[in-house]
Amino acid sequence: MMGSWLHYCSSSSVATALFLICLLQGSNGCDYFKGNWVFDSSYPLYDSLSCPFIEKEFSCQKNGRPDSRYQSYRWKPTGCDLPSFDGEDFLRKNKGKRIMFVGDSLSRNQWKSLLCLLYSAVPHATFTMETHEEENVSTFTVQEYEVSVMLSRNVYLVDIVREDIGRVLKLDSIKEGDKVWKDLDVLIFNTWHWWNRRGPTQPFDYFELGNKTYKDMDRLAAFEIALTTWATWVDDKIDPTKTRVFFQGISPSHYNGTGWNEPGVKNCRGQELPLTGTTYPGGLPMALTVLKKVLSGMSKPVYLLDVTELSLLRKDGHPSTYGFGAMDCSHWCLPGVPDTWNQLLYNGLL
């Protein structure tokens, strides 16, 4: 690894000057993604009850969660401090820009966190929210700064097309990218959580690769094929002098206490403390290995928000029964862990 932000920038096809800029971003030698959680009484970074953008499934305090300590942990990298999130500075430095999150409900989780961070920084600014249903895009704009923070819902990144045989997940096709994602200033991608869905919640009936159709296939293999399709699209379509590309990383779930050395625990319910130390006992998910493999083969720079392990340490950060109503150990309460993801994004954009 090359420090904080150059995790997987390949030099194979990147212009020399651009590649050197990539290297210099990690020149302080500090890995922002390795560290531990420390209690900080100055946290949370905003009031969950006063931010008007938190949806019910992320609003754990409004939903009756009795403990609040989970809101007051700060991420402390080993050997340095992570610079604080400054909402006004974020808006000034991104004046006139369009920033888009692309992915599933974990992207929405991070998007809502960023909206609350910006709202708390400039609460008297004029905000607008628009939804374009045809493109499945929501746009939040801070008018004084002409900054738009957008969400494009696309849970697999590749296309789902309705055909005569049913709904087909086309592992080698990305048409939405050309219509929705191109020509923006910042893109933050995410996918993984929907890849293992089966039965009624699976939003497709068949996989398609080339001219062949499959009723099912190995989901991790399908994930890698789709990521490679996405990587090719970025390499072919994105101009890195105009657009910064990030990948959110793999957001983990906590449905099995064996991973944190409590084998009798079935989910995150009642968890009120993060894990101590810097390493998750249960190891990292294979999906992260696949993601890093794909990113390492790209010719255009993509900055990995390597949030997996730091989030694995936060078994206390999920809504559990204080979100959707069902047991939710996948999403995150707000304020909470996604605020740190956005703090890392902010420092990456600097």
φ/ψ of residue 51, rounded to 5: -80, 120
**Residue with the larger pLDDT of the pair 26 and 133:** 133
Q: What is the 3-state secondary structure (H, E, C) of 220-253?
A: HHHHHHHHHHHHHHHHHHCCCCCCEEEECCCCCC
Look at residue 211 and tell me if it is in a domain.
Answer: yes
Look at residue 133 and tell me if it is in a domain.
Answer: yes
Instruction: Output the CA–CA distances (angstroms, integers) from residue 260 to 139, 265, 282, 329, in the order listed.
Output: 38, 9, 6, 14
Q: Give the tens place of pLDDT for each residue, 238-291.
A: 999 999 999 999 999 999 999 999 999 999 999 999 999 999 999 999 999 999
Q: Over 50: is that where the pLDDT of 24 sits?
A: no
**At 162, which helix (H) or strand (E)?**
strand 159-163
Look at residue 4 and tell me if it is in a domain.
Answer: no
Q: Mean of the per-residue pLDDT values for the chain?
A: 91
Look at residue 107 and tell me if it is in a domain.
Answer: yes
Look at residue 6 and tell me if it is in a domain.
Answer: no
The boundaries of the domain holding residue 322 are 16-349
How many CA atoms are closer than 13 Å to the CA of 156, on its beta-carbon side? Answer: 28
Q: Which of 182, 159, 307 is nearest to 238 (CA)?
A: 182
**Cβ pair 238, 245 in contact under 8 A:** yes
Tell if the pTM clears 0.85, that is, is over it. Answer: yes
Q: Which of 107, 183, 141 is nearest to 341 (CA)?
A: 107
Residues 6+ apart with CB under 8 A from 86: 121, 346
Q: Give the tens place of pLDDT for each residue, 316-346.
A: 999 999 998 789 999 999 999 999 999 999 9
Q: Over 90: is that where the pLDDT of 207 sits?
A: yes
Look at residue 1 and tell me if it is in a domain.
Answer: no
Q: Give the tens place of pLDDT for each residue, 74-102.
A: 999 998 999 999 999 999 999 999 999 99
The total domain count for the chain is 1
Sign of the torsion formed by the C-alpha atoms of 178, 180, 183 and 187? negative
Q: Which of 346, 332, 233 is nearest to 274 (CA)?
A: 332
Q: Over 70: is that where the pLDDT of 305 sits?
A: yes
Look at residue 10 and tell me if it is in a domain.
Answer: no
Q: Helix axis angle, 219-237 relative to 286-296, nearest 10°? A: 30
Sequence letter at residue 67: D
Tokens matching residue 79:
């050997």
Catalytic residue positions, numbered: 105, 328, 331
Write out the DSSP string of 178-231: IIIITT-SEEEE---TTTT--GGG---SEEEETTEEES---HHHHHHHHHHHHH
Burial of 36 (0-12, 13-18, 19+ CB in 10 A): middle
Q: Give the tens place of pLDDT for each residue, 119-140.
A: 999 999 999 999 988 789 999 9
**Cβ pair 253, 323 in contact under 8 A:** no
Look at residue 74 and tell me if it is in a domain.
Answer: yes
Q: Which of 286, 291, 257, 285 is nearest to 271 (CA)?
A: 257
